[in-house]
Protein backbone atom coordinates (compact mmCIF):
# COMPACT_ATOMS: atom_id res chain seq x y z
CA UNK A 1 0.00 0.00 0.00
CA UNK A 2 1.40 3.46 -0.90
CA UNK A 3 2.27 6.01 1.76
CA UNK A 4 -1.02 7.78 2.44
CA UNK A 5 -1.99 11.33 3.29
CA UNK A 6 -5.26 11.91 5.14
CA UNK A 7 -7.16 15.19 4.91
CA UNK A 8 -10.14 15.92 7.16
CA UNK A 9 -12.85 18.43 6.31
CA UNK A 10 -13.57 20.71 9.29
CA UNK A 11 -15.56 23.82 10.08
CA UNK A 12 -14.41 24.66 13.61
CA UNK A 13 -11.28 24.95 15.73
CA UNK A 14 -12.10 21.95 17.92
CA UNK A 15 -12.60 19.75 14.87
CA UNK A 16 -9.29 20.89 13.39
CA UNK A 17 -7.51 20.02 16.63
CA UNK A 18 -9.25 16.63 16.73
CA UNK A 19 -8.05 15.93 13.18
CA UNK A 20 -4.48 16.82 14.11
CA UNK A 21 -4.48 14.78 17.30
CA UNK A 22 -6.04 11.84 15.49
CA UNK A 23 -3.17 11.64 13.02
CA UNK A 24 -4.39 13.51 9.93
CA UNK A 25 -1.77 15.36 7.91
CA UNK A 26 -4.04 18.11 6.59
CA UNK A 27 -7.39 19.82 7.13
CA UNK A 28 -9.71 21.48 4.68
CA UNK A 29 -11.31 24.41 6.48
CA UNK A 30 -14.83 25.45 5.45
CA UNK A 31 -17.95 27.02 6.85
CA UNK A 32 -21.56 25.93 6.34
CA UNK A 33 -20.89 22.28 5.56
CA UNK A 34 -24.65 21.67 5.43
CA UNK A 35 -24.54 23.55 2.11
CA UNK A 36 -21.44 21.74 0.90
CA UNK A 37 -18.92 24.14 2.38
CA UNK A 38 -18.21 27.83 1.72
CA UNK A 39 -15.36 30.21 2.56
CA UNK A 40 -14.65 30.41 6.30
CA UNK A 41 -14.27 33.74 8.07
CA UNK A 42 -10.91 35.43 8.43
CA UNK A 43 -11.19 35.00 12.18
CA UNK A 44 -11.69 31.24 11.89
CA UNK A 45 -8.76 30.88 9.49
CA UNK A 46 -6.51 32.86 11.82
CA UNK A 47 -7.34 30.85 14.94
CA UNK A 48 -7.08 27.47 13.22
CA UNK A 49 -3.70 28.50 11.77
CA UNK A 50 -2.57 29.51 15.24
CA UNK A 51 -3.70 26.21 16.79
CA UNK A 52 -2.67 23.56 14.26
CA UNK A 53 0.68 22.74 12.71
CA UNK A 54 -0.56 20.30 10.05
CA UNK A 55 -1.46 21.42 6.53
CA UNK A 56 -4.26 23.98 6.27
CA UNK A 57 -6.29 24.19 3.06
CA UNK A 58 -8.95 26.93 2.97
CA UNK A 59 -12.14 26.63 0.96
CA UNK A 60 -12.73 29.52 -1.45
CA UNK A 61 -16.40 29.33 -2.41
CA UNK A 62 -18.56 32.45 -2.10
CA UNK A 63 -21.91 30.64 -1.82
CA UNK A 64 -23.65 27.31 -2.06
CA UNK A 65 -25.31 26.06 -5.21
CA UNK A 66 -23.68 25.78 -8.61
CA UNK A 67 -20.09 26.66 -9.49
CA UNK A 68 -20.79 29.16 -12.27
CA UNK A 69 -19.94 32.52 -10.74
CA UNK A 70 -20.78 36.13 -11.56
CA UNK A 71 -18.12 38.81 -11.91
CA UNK A 72 -18.84 40.03 -8.37
CA UNK A 73 -18.57 36.51 -6.99
CA UNK A 74 -15.29 36.00 -8.84
CA UNK A 75 -13.93 39.20 -7.32
CA UNK A 76 -15.03 37.94 -3.91
CA UNK A 77 -13.04 34.75 -4.53
CA UNK A 78 -9.98 36.82 -5.47
CA UNK A 79 -10.19 38.71 -2.19
CA UNK A 80 -10.69 35.47 -0.23
CA UNK A 81 -7.60 33.95 -1.84
CA UNK A 82 -5.57 36.98 -0.74
CA UNK A 83 -7.01 36.73 2.76
CA UNK A 84 -6.11 33.03 3.04
CA UNK A 85 -2.56 33.82 1.89
CA UNK A 86 -2.15 36.64 4.38
CA UNK A 87 -3.35 34.45 7.28
CA UNK A 88 -0.86 31.67 6.67
CA UNK A 89 -2.88 29.02 4.85
CA UNK A 90 -0.86 26.37 3.06
CA UNK A 91 -3.33 26.16 0.22
CA UNK A 92 -6.78 26.94 -1.09
CA UNK A 93 -9.58 24.76 -2.41
CA UNK A 94 -11.70 26.04 -5.28
CA UNK A 95 -13.57 25.09 -8.42
CA UNK A 96 -15.14 27.11 -11.22
CA UNK A 97 -17.33 25.76 -14.00
CA UNK A 98 -18.87 27.29 -17.11
CA UNK A 99 -22.60 27.18 -17.80
CA UNK A 100 -22.12 23.86 -19.63
CA UNK A 101 -20.46 22.40 -16.50
CA UNK A 102 -17.05 22.22 -18.12
CA UNK A 103 -14.05 23.61 -16.21
CA UNK A 104 -13.69 27.38 -16.48
CA UNK A 105 -10.01 27.15 -17.32
CA UNK A 106 -9.29 30.86 -17.66
CA UNK A 107 -10.84 32.03 -14.39
CA UNK A 108 -9.46 29.04 -12.50
CA UNK A 109 -5.99 29.79 -13.83
CA UNK A 110 -6.31 33.42 -12.75
CA UNK A 111 -7.10 32.38 -9.17
CA UNK A 112 -4.29 29.84 -9.10
CA UNK A 113 -1.80 32.45 -10.31
CA UNK A 114 -3.06 34.79 -7.60
CA UNK A 115 -2.69 31.98 -5.05
CA UNK A 116 0.97 31.30 -5.85
CA UNK A 117 2.90 29.83 -4.10
CA UNK A 118 0.01 28.18 -2.26
CA UNK A 119 -1.04 24.60 -2.95
CA UNK A 120 -4.36 24.59 -4.89
CA UNK A 121 -6.96 21.82 -4.91
CA UNK A 122 -9.74 21.79 -7.51
CA UNK A 123 -12.71 20.50 -5.51
CA UNK A 124 -15.65 18.22 -6.29
CA UNK A 125 -17.14 20.61 -8.81
CA UNK A 126 -14.99 18.34 -10.97
CA UNK A 127 -17.54 15.53 -10.51
CA UNK A 128 -20.23 17.60 -12.26
CA UNK A 129 -18.24 17.77 -15.48
CA UNK A 130 -19.78 15.77 -18.36
CA UNK A 131 -16.48 14.13 -19.36
CA UNK A 132 -13.99 13.50 -16.56
CA UNK A 133 -11.12 12.73 -18.92
CA UNK A 134 -11.48 16.12 -20.59
CA UNK A 135 -11.98 17.78 -17.20
CA UNK A 136 -8.78 16.18 -15.93
CA UNK A 137 -6.75 17.75 -18.74
CA UNK A 138 -8.50 21.07 -18.25
CA UNK A 139 -7.68 21.17 -14.53
CA UNK A 140 -4.07 20.14 -15.18
CA UNK A 141 -3.78 23.05 -17.62
CA UNK A 142 -4.79 25.52 -14.87
CA UNK A 143 -1.80 24.64 -12.70
CA UNK A 144 -3.77 23.09 -9.82
CA UNK A 145 -1.85 20.53 -7.78
CA UNK A 146 -4.67 18.11 -7.02
CA UNK A 147 -8.28 17.24 -7.72
CA UNK A 148 -10.75 16.24 -5.00
CA UNK A 149 -13.10 13.74 -6.60
CA UNK A 150 -15.28 10.69 -6.04
CA UNK A 151 -14.70 9.63 -9.63
CA UNK A 152 -18.02 11.11 -10.67
CA UNK A 153 -19.98 8.72 -8.44
CA UNK A 154 -21.95 9.30 -5.20
CA UNK A 155 -19.04 7.96 -3.14
CA UNK A 156 -15.34 7.25 -3.54
CA UNK A 157 -15.94 3.53 -3.09
CA UNK A 158 -18.53 3.48 -5.89
CA UNK A 159 -16.16 5.53 -8.04
CA UNK A 160 -13.00 3.57 -7.21
CA UNK A 161 -12.49 2.27 -10.76
CA UNK A 162 -13.01 5.75 -12.20
CA UNK A 163 -10.52 7.10 -9.64
CA UNK A 164 -8.02 4.49 -10.79
CA UNK A 165 -8.43 5.58 -14.41
CA UNK A 166 -7.98 9.23 -13.45
CA UNK A 167 -4.87 8.46 -11.42
CA UNK A 168 -3.40 6.49 -14.30
CA UNK A 169 -4.25 9.17 -16.86
CA UNK A 170 -2.77 11.90 -14.67
CA UNK A 171 0.63 10.19 -14.98
CA UNK A 172 1.97 12.11 -12.00
CA UNK A 173 1.03 15.51 -13.42
CA UNK A 174 -1.58 16.12 -10.70
CA UNK A 175 -2.59 14.34 -7.49
CA UNK A 176 -5.96 12.62 -7.18
CA UNK A 177 -7.51 13.16 -3.75
CA UNK A 178 -10.29 10.62 -3.23
CA UNK A 179 -13.30 11.89 -1.27
CA UNK A 180 -16.92 10.99 -0.70
CA UNK A 181 -18.19 8.84 2.15
CA UNK A 182 -14.76 7.65 3.28
CA UNK A 183 -14.43 6.20 6.79
CA UNK A 184 -12.54 3.50 8.66
CA UNK A 185 -14.80 0.79 7.26
CA UNK A 186 -14.06 1.43 3.58
CA UNK A 187 -10.87 3.49 3.31
CA UNK A 188 -8.58 0.54 2.76
CA UNK A 189 -10.82 -0.84 0.00
CA UNK A 190 -10.91 2.57 -1.72
CA UNK A 191 -7.11 2.74 -1.71
CA UNK A 192 -6.67 -0.85 -2.91
CA UNK A 193 -9.13 -0.44 -5.78
CA UNK A 194 -8.12 3.07 -6.87
CA UNK A 195 -4.42 3.24 -6.10
CA UNK A 196 -4.71 6.81 -4.80
CA UNK A 197 -2.36 8.06 -2.10
CA UNK A 198 -4.49 10.90 -0.68
CA UNK A 199 -7.85 10.54 1.09
CA UNK A 200 -10.37 13.20 2.10
CA UNK A 201 -12.94 12.44 4.83
CA UNK A 202 -15.63 14.31 6.74
CA UNK A 203 -16.18 11.98 9.72
CA UNK A 204 -18.75 14.32 11.24
CA UNK A 205 -20.61 13.31 14.39
CA UNK A 206 -23.61 15.01 15.98
CA UNK A 207 -23.05 16.59 19.37
CA UNK A 208 -25.80 18.11 21.52
CA UNK A 209 -25.87 21.77 22.43
CA UNK A 210 -23.98 22.91 25.53
CA UNK A 211 -26.86 25.25 26.31
CA UNK A 212 -29.06 24.07 29.17
CA UNK A 213 -32.35 25.27 27.73
CA UNK A 214 -33.63 25.68 24.22
CA UNK A 215 -36.00 28.39 23.09
CA UNK A 216 -39.54 27.73 21.95
CA UNK A 217 -39.35 30.98 20.01
CA UNK A 218 -36.95 29.49 17.46
CA UNK A 219 -38.49 27.39 14.71
CA UNK A 220 -35.88 24.92 13.41
CA UNK A 221 -35.63 24.19 9.71
CA UNK A 222 -37.53 21.13 8.55
CA UNK A 223 -35.98 17.96 9.95
CA UNK A 224 -33.23 19.84 11.78
CA UNK A 225 -32.40 20.67 15.37
CA UNK A 226 -30.57 23.98 15.13
CA UNK A 227 -29.06 23.56 18.59
CA UNK A 228 -27.03 20.55 17.45
CA UNK A 229 -23.50 20.73 16.08
CA UNK A 230 -21.58 18.45 13.78
CA UNK A 231 -18.00 17.91 14.92
CA UNK A 232 -15.02 15.72 14.11
CA UNK A 233 -14.02 13.37 16.91
CA UNK A 234 -10.37 12.46 17.46
CA UNK A 235 -11.29 8.80 17.97
CA UNK A 236 -12.85 8.58 14.50
CA UNK A 237 -9.78 10.07 12.86
CA UNK A 238 -7.65 7.57 14.77
CA UNK A 239 -9.84 4.70 13.54
CA UNK A 240 -9.38 5.87 9.96
CA UNK A 241 -5.62 6.15 10.36
CA UNK A 242 -5.39 2.74 12.04
CA UNK A 243 -7.53 1.07 9.36
CA UNK A 244 -4.92 2.04 6.79
CA UNK A 245 -1.94 0.97 8.88
CA UNK A 246 -2.85 -2.71 9.12
pLDDT band at 238 (very low <50, low <70, confident <90, very high): very high
Residue 120 · residue 92 · CB < 8 Å: yes
State the CB neighbour count (10 A cutoff) for residue 44: 20
pLDDT score, position 3? 82
| Cα(90)–Cα(231) distance, integer angstroms | 22
38 dihedral zone (left: phi>0; alpha: psi -120 to 50; beta)? beta
What CATH number has the domain bearing residue 198? 3.20.20.380
Across all residues in the chain, what is the average pLDDT?
A: 93
pLDDT band at 217 (very low <50, low <70, confident <90, very high): low
Q: E-strand spans in 146-219?
A: 146-149, 175-179, 198-201, 204-207
| Residue 66: domain span | 5-245
Domain count, the chain: 1
Angle at which helices 13-22 and 42-51 cross, to 10° = 30
Half-sphere exposure of 203 (CA within 13 A, CB side): 31
What are the tens digits of pLDDT across the range 156-215? 999 999 999 999 999 999 999 999 999 999 999 999 999 999 999 999 998 876 766 555
Look at the pTM and tell me if it is higher than 0.95: no
What are the tens digits of pLDDT across the range 33-67? 888 899 999 999 999 999 999 999 999 999 999 99
What are the tens digits of pLDDT across the range 109-134? 999 999 999 999 999 999 999 999 99
| Cα(126)–Cα(136) distance, integer angstroms | 8
Does the structure show a pLDDT above 80 at 224? no
Mean pLDDT of 215-225: 52
Residues 6+ apart with CB under 8 A from 12: 44, 229, 231
pLDDT score, position 35? 86
| Cα(213)–Cα(209) distance, integer angstroms | 9
Closest CA to 182 of 46, 34, 9, 16: 9
Does the structure show a pLDDT above 80 at 216? no
| Cα(79)–Cα(6) distance, integer angstroms | 28
Amino acid sequence: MPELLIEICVDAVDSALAAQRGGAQRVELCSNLLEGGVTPSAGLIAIVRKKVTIGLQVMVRPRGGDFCYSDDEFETMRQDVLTAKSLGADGVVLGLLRADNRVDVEKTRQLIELSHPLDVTFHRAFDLCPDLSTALEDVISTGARRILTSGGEPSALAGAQSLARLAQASAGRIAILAGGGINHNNAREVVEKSGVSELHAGLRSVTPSRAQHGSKNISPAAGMDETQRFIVLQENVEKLVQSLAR
